[in-house]
Amino acid sequence: MDIQFFIELFFGGLTRGSIYALIALGYTLVYGIIELINFAHGEIYMLGAFTALLVAGVLGVYGFPVGGILIVAALAAVIWCAAYGYTLEKVAYKPLRGAPRLSPLISAIGMSIFLQNYVLLAQTSDFVPFPRLLPEMEFLEYVNYVMGPSDFLILLVSTLAMVSLSLFIRYTRMGKAMRATAQNRKMALLLGINADRIISLTFIIGSGLAALGGVLIASHMGQVNFGIGFLAGLKAFTAAVLGGIGSIPGAMVGGLVLGLAESFTTGYFSGNYEDILAFGILILILIFRPDGILGKAKVQKV
Amino acid sequence: MKKGMTWLAAMAFCVTLTAPALAAESLKIGVQGAHSGDLASYGVPSLNAAKLVVDEANAKGGVLGQKVEVIAQDDQCKPEMATNAATKLISDKVAVVIGPICSGPTKAALPLFQEANLISVSPTATTPGLTEDGKNPLFFRTVANDNAQARLTSDFMLNKLKAKKIAYLHDNGDYGKGFADNNRVLMEKGGAETVLFEAVTPDAVDFSAVVRKLRRAKPDIVVFGGYQPVASKLIQQMRRDRLTTPFIGPDGVKDETFLKMTGKDSEGVYASYPKDTSTLPEYKKAREAHVKAYGSEPGFGYYNAYAAAQCLLAAIEKTGGTDTAKLKEALRANPVETPLGKLSFNEKGDAAGMALSIYQVKNGKFVELDHSITLQ
């Protein structure tokens, strides 16, 4: 019984953790390249959920098959939000590239508030039901208590996304250019890498991943609201810092560790402490190991 | 809507202009609440109710031979505006006040009304503390306070469902945790065991840990304290994980959106809510008056405000004046036929005579069950 409960909590933590990891990747990619905490990232996640909701609604009217709707809606959300991410960078951060570090940070917070209120006004302030787009998965029947179709989907999709991102960064020219820009932007520029394009690419990838997370969670929880990005964004930010901000494997590890920690705390102690735990970890990490689990201690450039 | 608001504004303007001229002979009823802003939909129905009751009284020749007049003050359900609105009502020398609407502004305005020795009757403020601490002897309300719901739900669980092992989940807010706490006290007194008492984070991306804990605790029923958004997420996740435990919540759960969100998952869910009184003649009269005057069904708190206005005018008529001490006695002593039933008020100022019932979702609709309590 106890082992069973442990396994249940473990998989619950994995599900939650992989969502944090998907969003955390966006924070970490952007931070790695331009050292900016993109606080509007959580809102991209929320926009992803809303886009999928709208697309699914339209497709539903035309009677598409359920599984197909989810795939098309998710793709639409990823593309649409990637465009949002691209625009966001051009509008809110690029003009401030040479400005003091605080300026783009404030611009990011401004964009976050703007996007929330934009959805509030253009859509609704209510909670909106997200259609059930997942087919029943028979083969999950015997692990039913451990994971349902949506947990399975979240694990599968996020693992695929993370693996392909790692491969992309490791083995493609663009990936190499991203790594080079992250290491030293000036040097990369001198070697003929178009840093602006790399920065745009980073925002596109990060936003796409966040949108994917938004769609997955919306279909898992069954509802959407303009405010869902705030807490999810903060948690993912915590995960990114926990893993070592700027480090891609760090974001994944950080997300999973945070998800598991929350799940076990709720399971063995009390749900009252879920947020306290998450943000307690954030504070402790910032005090004792600001570079996170996998981050490398940087030599301060003087 | 817009036209309505303009008309309202125009009305308010006329009232302010004509008020001094009529001051000598008219009886003024203050109405405070959210008449504009985000929460206007909570306050405007009460204002409409007051106007319609007053119109009816005036058509019959007024109260004690005086014309009755409504003085509206908008507080937008904001505590910081509520004190201003209350001060204006006091300086307008209103006889009694209907309102405020929201609990926060009520808390802010009550000390001022108390100091001015003015009776106020809120149609919708449900926070228990407003009446329970005895600090506001001139405050009354025509709505059940939040604690009353737990009396009904615990009675239902103990006596009807014979539940022995109870799990409590709440959203850590005043309203939600209060409901869970009150139920727990009453259930434990009734001999039921608490197997889980826990908060959920309303915005969490996933509730699976809590749901798994629930399954492990094997409760007979889950008591949920909180509002509809969290309830719908929770019930969906429970049902998806094949957890079929019954689920009971406060009136914050009995909401059309809840049904829309949860679809089949909400089947069988219990909630407490004021008893359906739509067959009462006073209710029908109030509804017809609204449909005739505004061309639509009444909104939030309309019948409660209608009842409040009726009780106040009846008390003024009965005592032959607006002496606060006498009015207070009259409100307590004389039950009045209202849309909510035969209402009077208890020592604390809570409405006596209204009833709360248990509702259950059947075939996608909340259906009233034959289990209710009448508030004393």
Confidence of residue A1 (pLDDT cuts 50, 70, 90): low
The CA–CA distances, whole Å, from A19 to A154, A259, A276, B204 equal 7, 9, 19, 11
End-to-end CA distance of chain A: 57
Mean pLDDT of A66-88: 92
pLDDT at A194 over 60: yes
CB neighbour list of residue A129: distance below 8 Å, 6 or more residues apart = A222, A223, A224, B232, B260, B261, B262, B263
Name the average pLDDT for chain B. Answer: 89
Regarding whether B369 and B250 lie in a shared domain, the answer is yes
Report pLDDT for A301. Answer: 44
Mean pLDDT of A114-124: 90
| Angle of helix A228-243 versus helix A41-61 axis, rounded to 10 | 130
Report pLDDT for A132. Answer: 79
A124 domain residue, yes or no: yes
Regarding whether B132 and B228 lie in a shared domain, the answer is no
Counted domains in chain B = 2
The reply to whether residue A274 touches residue B203, judged by beta carbons under 8 angstroms, is: no
Cβ–Cβ contact B242 with A under 8 A = yes
The reply to whether residue A223 touches residue B261, judged by beta carbons under 8 angstroms, is: yes
Regarding whether B180 and B52 lie in a shared domain, the answer is no
**Residues on chain A bordering chain B, Cβ-to-Cβ distance under 8 angstroms:** 5, 8-9, 12-13, 15-16, 19-20, 126-127, 129, 132, 144-145, 148, 150-151, 217, 220-223, 225, 227-228, 230-232, 235, 262-264, 266-267, 270-272, 274-275
In chain A, at which residue ranges do the beta strands (DSSP E only) sit? Answer: 128-129, 223-224
Candidates A221, A226, A234: best to mutate against B (most CBs of B within 10 A) is A221
Closest alpha carbon to A213 in A149, A130, A154: A154
**Structure ipTM:** 0.82
Alpha carbon of B356: minimum distance to chain A alpha carbons (Å): 27
Contact residues on chain B for A8, CB-CB shorter than 8 A: 208, 212
**In this predicted model, what pLDDT tens digit does every residue of B203-217 receive, in sequence order?**
888 898 899 899 889
**In this predicted model, what pLDDT tens digit does every residue of A205-251 receive, in sequence order?**
999 999 999 999 998 888 898 889 999 999 999 999 999 988 889 99
A297 domain residue, yes or no: no
Name the average pLDDT for chain A. Answer: 88
Confidence of residue B185 (pLDDT cuts 50, 70, 90): very high
End-to-end CA distance of chain B: 39
Q: What percentage of chain A exceeds 90 in pLDDT? A: 56
Confidence of residue A19 (pLDDT cuts 50, 70, 90): very high
- Which tokens sit at B29? 């009823």
Residue A35, domain CATH: 1.10.3470
Regarding whether B370 and B254 lie in a shared domain, the answer is yes
Regarding whether B360 and B349 lie in a shared domain, the answer is no
User: Residue B76: exposed, middle, or buried by beta-carbon count in 10 A (0-12, 13-18, 19+)?
Assistant: buried
Tokens 């039921």 belong to which residue? Answer: B192
Report pLDDT for B123. Answer: 94
Q: Which domain holds residue B51?
A: 2-144+278-354
Regarding whether B301 and B266 lie in a shared domain, the answer is no
Cβ–Cβ contact B209 with A under 8 A = yes
Regarding whether B136 and B74 lie in a shared domain, the answer is yes
Length reported for chain A: 302
Regarding whether B260 and B365 lie in a shared domain, the answer is yes
Q: Which domain holds residue A220?
A: 12-139+150-288
Report pLDDT for A151. Answer: 87
Report pLDDT for A144. Answer: 63
Regarding whether B327 and B189 lie in a shared domain, the answer is no
Counted domains in chain A = 1
Alpha carbon of A268: minimum distance to chain B alpha carbons (Å): 8
Regarding whether B249 and B160 lie in a shared domain, the answer is yes
pLDDT at A163 over 90: yes
| Rounded-to-integer distance, Cα A58 and Cα A53, Å | 9
**Which of A122 and B9 is assigned the larger pLDDT?**
A122
A6 domain residue, yes or no: no
Contact residues on chain A for B236, CB-CB shorter than 8 A: 221-222
Report pLDDT for A271. Answer: 82
- CA-based radius of gyration for chain B: 22
Regarding whether B94 and B217 lie in a shared domain, the answer is no
A87 domain residue, yes or no: yes
Regarding whether B214 and B126 lie in a shared domain, the answer is no
Mean pLDDT of B292-318: 93
pLDDT at B22 over 70: no
Residue B186, domain CATH: 3.40.50.2300
